[in-house]
Chains A and B, each alone.
Chain A
Amino acid sequence: MSATQTILKEVKSYHWFVQFMIVLVLVGAAAAIYRFAFGLGATTNLSDTYPWGLWVAFDVVTAVPLAAGSFTLGAIVYCFNIKKLEPLIRPAIVTGFLGYSLVCVGLLVDLGQPHKGWHVLFFWNLHSPMFEVAMCVFAYTTVLFLEFLEPVGEKFGWKFSLKALRKIHMPLVIAAAAISTLHQSSLGTFFLIAVEKLHALWYNPLLPLLFWMSAISCGMCIIILEATACHKWMGQPNEGVLLRTLAKILPWTIGAYIIVRVLSLIFLTDNVLFDDPTTTKLFAAEMGGFLVAFFMFCTNAVRNNDSLRALAATILVFALILYRFNVSIFGMMDWNNIYYPSTIETLVTVGILAAHVLFFVLIARYFPIFVHGHEEEKTVTENSTEPAFSHN
């Protein structure tokens, strides 16, 4: 059999959902090619009024906090030494690595001159938040790649590299947290320049801090969702006990965020807050999401129940997505001349999302990312690797 035939046969053996994801990714890729062939103006709804649209709002400004699970968990497990959460680390690293790689893809599609993207590494502008974020994303993707090499090394039995990787493990975890703090917050700094453009409900000098704080909670919620999904659809053991521990940390991080958010609204905003019903509604929905998630995670019954916990996490993730969209699109919208994404923009973003799910499932299938046994009481030992998906 030729290689193509082997691959085709392999693909045919996948679940229909995975095949559907493959289709979405291919459609997204085609849409991206179309964008380069016909130009940004013809294929997107971007304009001189709306130079940034869905690609910046979702593929960069929102996707980065969605991939925050890896650094948050790393810091919790290794710096606060809550070792029992270790089994969650590898899937989180894979998600993080995929997330950031796809942020890079999203950025390249959005850039007008993608072939010059490397210029950022050479013409430094320390005054630019974009420079800051680009450097961090580059550095962090490298860190995540190194961390991701561990399961890859295990799979192919690279003894030497594994030893080296374990040695730099702690520095990597700390570097990941420091770099992430910087770029998660710098994404907020982006919008500090939009002084008279961004609505007062979102513009305030603490935007960077708020972006960072909300990203931490979001990262943990994504881990909860991911572990729940892996249990439900990928035959992984139920990590409910571990997720309960995470859910206990969440009220603190979400609560802290809400307090800073409300205080900054009261004390650090000069302009009128509630002058327009649309923005007020968007703000209410966003704040409501954070509050509901907060009160849910405060409740014992929610933390201990797998589906309620996942629901609370979902609500928080949606609140965060709305927050990022409010800042990067809705808060700057001229409601008489509305921007909405074109079909091509939407297809590319959907393709990127699908790619994330698809690659996660494929990596889980072929690499040992669910390694550690599930005895939460005992100390974690490296036991033999169970393949994530059995082939037949």
Chain B
Amino acid sequence: MMSNDSSKQNTFLIDLTKCTGCRGCMVACKQWNQLEAEDTHFFGGEGYQNPAAMSEHTFTLIKFRDSEKNGKHSFSFYKEMCMHCDDPACVSVCPVHAFHKTPEGPVIYDSKRCIGCRFCMVGCPFNIPTYEWSKGLPLVKKCDGCYSRIKEGLKPACVTACPTAMEYGPRDEMIQLAEERLKKYPDRYVNQIYGKDEAGGTSVLYLSSEPYEELGFQMVTDRRLPSYTWPALRLVPSIFVTVGAGLSALAWFNHRKDRIAEEKLDAVATENPAKSEEDKS
């Protein structure tokens, strides 16, 4: 849909090689968004992470992965959050336009509109939106890129809290910075900026020393997601007209014999206004 110029939009650059796993971002996010604590269990997830997955109470999660590197045990971390796609699936599939991509970058949610169909959850290629399963009339929850802070000229809470790994700024600058790092330390990184092309480009970019797939990143298409559904939906008006007109023509043609027979009948004797009226319509 809106193929807006994303190069000046606010973008996160998350350098996972610099992440220490302190989870300051998770705490800051909880505080800023006033999210409830969760009842967690150690070893509850795929690794040492805690809680096991994002939820209505957790908009960002540091995922832990351990691996063997040169015979040594090593940890890697992955900060999961909404990717704030340039052309988001959640925006396109929502029947009531509850989501929208702001010109500043964040993809935000209007709970007053949401009807709770959960299509956004099915559509999101990164499986980000979560649902208030604990409530009778639940709403969708996800990271809003701290939109209210950005409006006030602040940086997102998690970025402010992060001591080492996160940069925040216009997308083109962030890409430039990432490319410089890749060039400068080719042996430190996997040669890919995750988010540069994923889902047609996102406002969250990652650098990593481990292959992204192994860290638990979703392997998503480089095409904008709405470009998969729009070719079908675009045809809706023409299909409506074609089927309508086609069937009308067919009906008219196939009723021709009846009409001729009827006209003869009319000419002979009795009139049947009700019937001829019906045929006209």
**Contact indicator B243/A39 (Cβ below 8 Å):** no
**Contact indicator B97/A125 (Cβ below 8 Å):** yes
A230 CA / B239 CA spacing, docked (Å): 35
Contact residues of A: prevailing secondary structure: helix
Q: Does B228 touch A at the CB level, under 8 Å?
A: yes
Q: Does B236 touch A at the CB level, under 8 Å?
A: yes
Chain A nearest CB from B235 CB (Å) reads 9
Chain A nearest CB from B140 CB (Å) reads 8
**Contact indicator B281/A170 (Cβ below 8 Å):** yes
A117 CA / B97 CA spacing, docked (Å): 13
Chain B nearest CB from A176 CB (Å) reads 10
A39 CA / B93 CA spacing, docked (Å): 24
Known contacts A127-B230, A130-B119; decide if A196 and B218 are in contact (CB<8 Å): yes
B225: which of A48, A195, A205 is its contact (CB, 8 Å)?
A195
Known contacts A111-B117, A169-B281, A178-B240; decide if A130 and B95 are in contact (CB<8 Å): yes
Contacts of A38 in B (CB 8 A): 136
**Contact indicator A119/B115 (Cβ below 8 Å):** yes
**Contact indicator B254/A81 (Cβ below 8 Å):** yes
Known contacts A112-B137, A134-B95; decide if A193 and B116 are in contact (CB<8 Å): no
A208 CA / B236 CA spacing, docked (Å): 11
Q: Does A233 touch B at the CB level, under 8 Å?
A: no
Q: Does B265 touch A at the CB level, under 8 Å?
A: no
A48 CA / B54 CA spacing, docked (Å): 9
- Residues of chain A at interface, number, CB under 8 A: 68
Contacts of A79 in B (CB 8 A): 247, 250-251, 254
**Contact indicator A51/B121 (Cβ below 8 Å):** yes
**Contact indicator A196/B220 (Cβ below 8 Å):** yes
**Contact indicator B95/A181 (Cβ below 8 Å):** no
Q: Does A234 touch B at the CB level, under 8 Å?
A: no
Q: Does A268 touch B at the CB level, under 8 Å?
A: no
Contacts of B122 in A (CB 8 A): 51-52, 190, 193-194, 197
- What are the 10 tightest A-B residue pairs by CB atom distance, in nearest-first order? A112-B116, A41-B133, A81-B254, A131-B95, A51-B121, A113-B116, A51-B118, A130-B95, A123-B96, A112-B138
Starting from the known contacts A36-B136, A41-B132, A79-B250, 12 additional A-B residue pairs (CB-CB under 8 Å) come to A39-B134, A47-B133, A80-B254, A110-B117, A113-B114, A115-B137, A127-B233, A170-B278, A177-B244, A186-B232, A186-B233, A192-B228
Contacts A/B (CB < 8 Å), 19 sampled: A36-B136, A39-B136, A41-B134, A112-B131, A112-B138, A113-B116, A120-B95, A120-B96, A126-B236, A128-B233, A130-B94, A130-B119, A167-B281, A174-B248, A178-B240, A182-B240, A188-B232, A196-B219, A196-B220
Residues of chain A at the chain B interface (Cβ within 8 Å): 36-42, 46-49, 51-52, 75, 78-81, 110-117, 119-120, 122-132, 134, 163, 166-171, 173-175, 177-179, 181-182, 185-186, 188-190, 192-197, 205, 208
